[in-house]
A and B are shown apart, each in its own frame.
Chain A
Amino acid sequence: MPRERDPLVVGRVVGDVLDPFLRSITLRVTYNNREVANGCEFRPSQLVSQPRVDIGGDDLRTFYTLVMVDPDAPSPSNPNLREYLHWLVTDIPATTGANFGQEIVCYESPRPTAGIHRFVFVLFRQLGRQTVYAPGWRQNFNTRDFAELYNLGLPVAAVYFNCQREGGSGGRRS
């Protein structure tokens, strides 16, 4: 069996949060001039303010939805709040950024207490401008169901990073 290379699959993001998809739009997430690459590590102090999100595409009349979730809430060994919604922005025009969209659920800074959490950014293409209702609460959000509910289809881009509590010492020896 050929070894799986895609970091999203190896890191179980495809599986726990998303279905397999093909990337078609560039998604760049930057926290304080440091770009998010799959599987890289950030500390909560670097994630306090919302990141800069730049999306690709070519037609300003196409709109995208950005979702940021934590599938490992409250802890990866016991993720009973999977997924915890951190940010939800809709109606982002192609080639622009998240601040051009409608913030449905405002950015909540990640603050994991136990374990090393994954934080996933997912980009969906919208069929047109649409009204999206904020869920009643952030926990137990389901990205798949959300996409189905608003006819968003499969994701067009995704990226994830790892984060543990500020004083945590787990993970890679750096």
Chain B
Amino acid sequence: MFTMWSSLVDDDDDNRSSKRVSCSPSKSSTCSSHPPFSPSSPKKTMDEVWKDLSLSSLHHHSISTINNATANTHHAFRSTLLQDFLARPSNMDPLRTGTSTADPSSAGAATPFASPLPPPPTLLSLNSLPDFHCIDDTDPMKPHSHFHNNATAATPYMYPPFNVLAAASPAFPSFRKKRPRGSDDNSGDRRHKRLIKNRESAARSRARKQAYTNELELEVAHLIEENARLKRLQQKFCPEASAQLPKKHTLYRTSTAPF
């Protein structure tokens, strides 16, 4: 599957696969093996690429900043195919249900696309998008299951890039014409990206709140226990001290102000 992935991305794949391989054992050793003046550039490139792909970035400029000029044509037919993909959502239903059940052996249309599925989680585990490896994680957070059940959720946006790339070489080997992108496509993507980011932020916020609440509950339980223990000790060693509670509960003067 790694080889399929690297063969689809024809340019930079040597770079990328070597970077990926070298990054897999441990991040720190990778960093130390690279020249000191560009310690994090391989990882950044990989992250950038993955981020762009997984968030379904259809913007040429954001990808071409990483890749070289020959990649632009690559992204040209990526965008074209993606538009076709978006225009025919019904075709991709098998894919969606396939991904939601995490079953690579769903409908025929999904099978060639199913094989790139395993690499993304591995790829994800190497970089820094925590919420996206809820694909096969048992992440209890709600938005995770929501992704898979919601037909218009992130799922189509995570996998179409791979579909497109899978379809690219065999189906459209010489399709090189750039189609100008409409502004509504742009805002649609931006909206989706924003939606995903907002969901993640909301999930983090909920986790934060829940963690703090749990911690407080634990502390309260602990303090109650300690209080009881100390009271017992006090009673045992200083019985007269515990009898010093005020007996009278009526109001009375203690110290008065000079006026």
Contacts and interface: CB of A to CB of B under 8 A. Distances in A.
Interface string B36-75: 1001100110010000000000000000000000000000
Interface residues of B, number: 33
A83 to B, nearest CB: 9
A145 B26 contact: yes
Contacts of A39: 208, 211-212, 214-215
A79 B44 CA distance: 11
Contacts, number: 89
A106 B130 CA distance: 28
Interface in B189-241: 197, 200-201, 204-205, 207-212, 214-219
Contacts of B44: 80
Given A80-B47, A148-B26, A136 B211 contact: no
A139 B31 CA distance: 10
Contacts of B31: 135-137, 140
A59 interface: no
B21 to A, nearest CB: 16
Interface string A148-174: 110000000000001000000001100
A11 B128 contact: no
A81 B44 CA distance: 9
- Sort chain A's interface into a size bin: 35 or more
Interface string B163-176: 00000000000000
Contacts of A45: none
B246 interface: no
Given A10-B210, A77-B201, A148-B26, A139 B40 contact: yes
B28 interface: yes
Given A5-B214, A80-B44, A139-B40, A16 B197 contact: no
17 contacts: A6-B214, A7-B212, A7-B218, A10-B207, A10-B210, A12-B130, A38-B212, A39-B215, A76-B201, A77-B200, A79-B128, A80-B128, A116-B208, A136-B39, A140-B43, A141-B28, A172-B212
Interface of B: 26-29, 31-32, 36, 39-40, 43-44, 47, 127-128, 130, 140, 197, 200-201, 204-205, 207-212, 214-219
Interface of A: 1, 4-8, 10-12, 15-16, 37-40, 76-82, 116, 135-137, 139-142, 145-146, 148-149, 162, 171-172
Instruction: Enumerate the 5 nearest inter-chain pairs by beta-carbon distance, A residue then B residue, closest first.
Output: A11-B211, A39-B212, A10-B211, A7-B211, A145-B26
